[in-house]
Amino acid sequence: MRNAYHVEHVRAAEAALMARLPEGTLMQRAAAGLAATCARLLGGVYGRRVVLLVGSGDNGGDALYAGARLARRGARVDAILLNPERAHAGGLAALRAAGGRMTGDPAVIDAADLVVDGITGIGGQGGLRPGAAELAARAAGAQALVVAVDVPSGVDASTGVVEGPAVRADVTVTFGTYKPGLLVDPGASHAGVVELVDIGLGPYLPAEPTVAALQAGDVARLLPELSAETDKYRRGVVGVVAGSDRFPGAAVLTVGGALYGAAGYVRLAAPRRVIDLVLQRWPETVCSEARPGEAGRVQAWVVGPGMGTDEVARDRLAEVLASDVPVLVDADGLTLLGKYFGGRADRSAPTVLTPHAGECARLLGAERADVEARRLEHTRQLAERTGATVLLKGSTTLVADPAGAVRVNPTGTPWLGTAGTGDVLSGLIGSLLAAGLPALDAASVGAYLHGLAGRLAADDAPIAAHDVIDHLPAAWRSVGNDHGPVRDARPCL
């Protein structure tokens, strides 16, 4: 698990550790890691040109000490001090002693091989001021690699919010732990490749992170496994209410995602035209034109993709929500939830909502642009307001449960931004719910596999939604979930 912590937690951990160490030890550890990364990126230090953009905080000190290390190895290091009177005195002295130079000429950036962003630290708020913004823009237009110290300046380290001009880094070297703003867009898009330098904070951080990102090993441990006793019912039975005469293909894609998820049995409740189309593609589907409650027993429901928003669809959603099994609501189901149910599911069984930014905005009465700018805040808010686990789709997919736990999905590709991929995701998560995974795990594991399948499919880009389904088996295999017996699915009700 890749854990990220709010700035307040990082500050408290740093203070606790510094109380046990000689003064300056943490900064030296950080500077050593930063210098080592810069040297590796340069592919050789001697004769290279390095420019430091130095603010008045500790990040500026980290940059100065790292610059001193590079200068001692033969690099030409120029430091641009944004506030010379408040520059870190020890770092400044070290750089000078190593042969580094102070300059007020931004033209040195144009000839640099590498630019180090030490303008603001993890406590920085808002966009860069004009002078710093000009330097950041010049670095972005130069040929140099840009390395951010701890977090790109102008990015809110705790949320990923970017409220004005900000540095766009090729690499961010972060210290002690990941910060949420490095994992959540729009901040994540400014961070580039994130490299973590261990400075010893681990024992002093809270047990529960602010944001976590599953890694392949975590997914493998959570996925259901098969055993000699496994049958289709033990794997899980998922019910799907999707598709309409207008959008029959949504059911095809949702059922495909479910079949290539964990479920051993998929039931579809839909109109006849939809059923005929699904059976052509997925003949193993058990189909019924009956109402959901009469379609047969299931261990989880997926409701909403392409089913329309008329009264018949509303009644189908109400019947599914009245069941006592886990339910995933997507697409048209979310529109109906907001229109007829006050945006709340009000269920005792687990519920998962999978909105995109526009649907999230409608459920919260917010603006879409604000949701996209403050993804973490709005995902949490929707989970709290609805009492459901919320998966907010987009450039970085977030999953939040009502208790406050948040996960960010590390997989995916822009090629997934095409019609129907969300239907596949809904079916996949629904099958994981039917297999017995808790809502937070089902949603985050489903997002991981879906994003990974999208990446694999993108090797032959452009892609369509059915390509994601075709690559789901390879995504499962790639995480290597070869451990232990299958978990018991929920009782089939």
- Of 146, 3, 143, 131, nearest to 56 by C-alpha is 131
Q: Is 397 annotated as a binding residue?
A: yes
Convert 208-220 to b/e letters by CB count within 10 Å (16 or more is b). ebbbbbbeeebbb
Q: Is 37 annotated as a binding residue?
A: no
Q: Is 427 annotated as a binding residue?
A: no
The DSSP secondary structure of 232-295, one letter per residue, reads HHHH-EEEEE---SS-THHHHHHHHHHHTTT-SEEEEE--HHHHHHHHHH-TT-EEESS-GGGS
Q: What is the 3-state secondary structure (H, E, C) of 168-216?
A: CCCEEEEECCECHHHCCCCHHHHHCEEEEECCCCHHHCCCCCCEEECCH
Q: Is 482 annotated as a binding residue?
A: no
Q: Is 315 annotated as a binding residue?
A: no
- Of 263, 179, 133, 216, nearest to 451 by C-alpha is 216
Q: 465-478 vs 421-434: helix axis angle to the nearest 10?
A: 40
Q: Is 60 annotated as a binding residue?
A: yes
Q: Is 444 annotated as a binding residue?
A: no
Q: Is 153 annotated as a binding residue?
A: yes
Q: What is the 3-state secondary structure (H, E, C) of 380-405?
A: HHHHHHHCCEEEECCCCCEEECCCCC
Q: Is 164 annotated as a binding residue?
A: no
| Separation of alpha carbons 96 and 99, rounded Å | 5
Number of CB atoms found within 10 A of residue 19's CB: 8
- Which helix (H) or strand (E) element contains residue 50? strand 49-54
Q: Is 394 annotated as a binding residue?
A: yes
Q: Extract the tokens encoding 197.
A: 């330098």
Number of CB atoms found within 10 A of residue 141's CB: 10
| Separation of alpha carbons 118 and 52, rounded Å | 7
Q: Extract the tokens encoding 62.
A: 């980290």
| Separation of alpha carbons 310 and 224, rounded Å | 37
Q: Is 57 annotated as a binding residue?
A: no
- Of 204, 147, 209, 148, nearest to 179 by C-alpha is 209
Q: Are 64 and 89 in contact, with CB atoms under 8 Å apart?
A: no
Q: Is 190 annotated as a binding residue?
A: no
Strands 398-400 and 389-392: antiparallel
Q: Is 288 annotated as a binding residue?
A: no
Which of helix, strand or coil describes residue 82? Answer: coil
Convert 305-326 to b/e letters by CB count within 10 Å (16 or more is b). bbbbbeeebbebbebbbebebb
* CA 170, chain centre distance (Å): 19
Q: Is 125 annotated as a binding residue?
A: yes
Q: Is 243 annotated as a binding residue?
A: no
Q: Is 309 annotated as a binding residue?
A: no
- Of 175, 239, 177, 247, nearest to 420 by C-alpha is 247
Q: Is 393 annotated as a binding residue?
A: yes
Q: Is 306 annotated as a binding residue?
A: yes
| Separation of alpha carbons 191 and 155, rounded Å | 9
Q: Is 356 annotated as a binding residue?
A: yes
Binding site feature residues for K(+): 59, 117, 153
Binding site feature residues for (6S)-NADPHX: 58-62, 121-127, 150, 250, 306, 356, 423
Binding site feature residues: 58-62, 117, 121-127, 150, 153, 250, 306, 356, 393-397, 422-423
Binding site feature residues for AMP: 393-397, 422
